[in-house]
Amino acid sequence: MKVVLVSAVVLIDVDGRVLLAQRPEGKSMAGLWEFPGGKVEPNETPEAALIRELHEELGIDTWASCLAPLTFASHSYEGFHLLMPLFACRKWDGIVQGREGQALKWVRANDLRNYPMPPADIPLIPILRDWL
């Protein structure tokens, strides 16, 4: 089974809320809420992938030194296995905005369960609730 490496981030604002992005129409699992991030390209580190994706998708800039490894997801989907390191980030430059038509929402850790998420993301919620 093919393993797909995707890097994701928990962006945490000054009020301790977490950013969720809604998967846009036309993508698999459209309408579900997820942590921002994306596929790690060949010869790219998970941190470099996140820095690139955050710039492309949200219009913000951050640095590897501001990405703290938090946990990871390992989940088998139909046709591939997802391995997703999850980083925490509290420091970035710019204003978060959805550059790819995706809805964004700042959510308290205790409210994450109210947002339908991809199966790989769901086990991360209790970890975040305990950590935040």
Q: Strand ranges (DSSP E) for 1-132? A: 2-11, 18-22, 33-34, 37-39, 68-77, 80-89, 104-107
Burial of 37 (0-12, 13-18, 19+ CB in 10 A): buried
Structure confidence at residue 132 (pLDDT)? 86
| Residues of the chain under the 70 pLDDT cut | none
- Predicted TM-score (pTM) of the model is 0.94
85 to each of 30, 43, 94, 100, how far by Cα in Å? Answer: 21, 16, 24, 22
As a whole number of angstroms, the distance between CA 131 and CA 56 comes to 28
